[in-house]
Amino acid sequence: MKSSTKDRVIDALLITMMILPFLGAMALNILTKPLSEGITVTGAQIYFTIDMPLQPLYITEAQVVSVAVVIALLGLCLFLTRKLSIRPISKRQVIAEMIVETMDKLVAGNMGQRFMGFAPFIAAILGLSALSSLCSLLGLFPPTSDINIVAGWAILVFILITYYKLKGGVLPYLKGFLEPIPVMLPMNILSEFSTPVSMAFRHYGNVMSGSVIAVLIAAALSGLSSLVLGWLPGALGDIPFLRVGLPAVLSLYFDIFSGCMQAFIFAMLTMLNVSIGFPEELYEKRQAKKLAKKANK
């Protein structure tokens, strides 16, 4: 097999890797979704449950779509980073380099040079969140409309925030809960654990509310169309003419603009909370003490 033919086959497989998971999720949704009359607002569909020691594990549509998003992102990354070279540069390499440079600038501007290693993580958060919200354009349940999915992301970010706060030492970290006065201990503890809660509910609430508003407006326009144009003869009176156009425009706003905006906000909060929580002075002092001890030995 010639090299060019082999490359085309691999590219086709990677493109299939990006598309096939969504087609599978759409087929599964169509085959298992129960019939319903009118417009309904429901959570993620439960496909099946797995018995576990503490409680059943529910496999939902949100989890299946999340796996599809991860596989598609993996395929996209492999597709963009294949056959990298210094010269000549392919179009896909230009796109890949542009993404890397944009993420590096974003992290450097918000976190500083010390945290440049966070660029791939922030890019993963942006891609995962944005693509999860855009799944609604395919008729799939967006994982960002499931509080369990978004809460998992927020807990992971909270672990990172706490990890970098502890870089200054465990004792200074614990003393911080007593500042400015010891009586503030309960409030400081509450403030500490409110970070992942606020991040999760902000992201989930904005995406979910957009979906609910779009559905409610579509239902209202259906009723208004029936009231105003119901006098038309025959089947024409049953067609919701007023629903044509506006719900689609609202869907584009809530699914594309709002979904991508919430992904950017979540990434920004991640960067700011990690960088602000990092005690740089205490960390530098600890590192200096460690170097002094090594030098004395």
> What is the DSSP-derived secondary structure letter of residue 49?
E
Three-state DSSP state, 57: strand
Instruction: Write down the pLDDT at residue 2.
Output: 46
Single-letter residue type at 43: G
Are the beta carbons of 97 and 123 closer than 8 angstroms? no
Q: What is the pLDDT of residues 196-250, one digit of tens each?
A: 999 998 888 888 777 777 667 766 766 666 666 666 665 555 555 555 556 666 6
DSSP letter (8 states) at residue 141: P
65-79 burial, b if ≥16 CB within 10 A, otherwise e? bbebbbbbbebbbeb
CB 47 within 8 A of CB 60: yes
For residues 119 and 199, what is the distance between their CA atoms, to the nearest angstrom? Answer: 20
Q: What is the pLDDT of residue 4?
A: 79
Q: How far is CA 192 from the centre of its chain?
A: 22
Rounded CA gap, 247 and 218, in Å?
6
- Nearest Cα residue to 118 out of 76, 71, 156, 84: 156
Angle at which helices 185-229 and 147-165 cross, to 10°: 150
pLDDT at residue number 68:
95
For residue 233, give every residue at least 6 positions away whose Cβ sits within 8 Å of its Cβ, in sequence order, or none.
none
Q: Which of 84-98, 222-236, 249-263, 280-294 has the lowest mean pLDDT?
A: 222-236
Helix axes 147-165, 119-134, angle to 10 degrees: 170
Peptide bond into 196 cis (omega under 30): no
Q: Which residues contact 275 (CB under 8 A, 6 or more apart)?
A: 110, 111, 112, 115
Mean pLDDT (the chain, rounded): 84
Alpha-carbon torsion (100, 101, 102, 105), positive or negative: positive
Q: What is the pLDDT of residues 124-183, one digit of tens each?
A: 999 999 999 888 878 788 899 889 999 999 999 999 999 999 988 888 888 888 888 888
Q: What is the pLDDT of residues 21-75, one digit of tens each?
A: 999 999 998 888 776 555 565 677 888 888 888 888 888 999 999 999 999 999 9
The pTM score is 0.83
Report the largest interatomic distance among the alpha carbons of the chain, rounded to a whole angstrom.
96
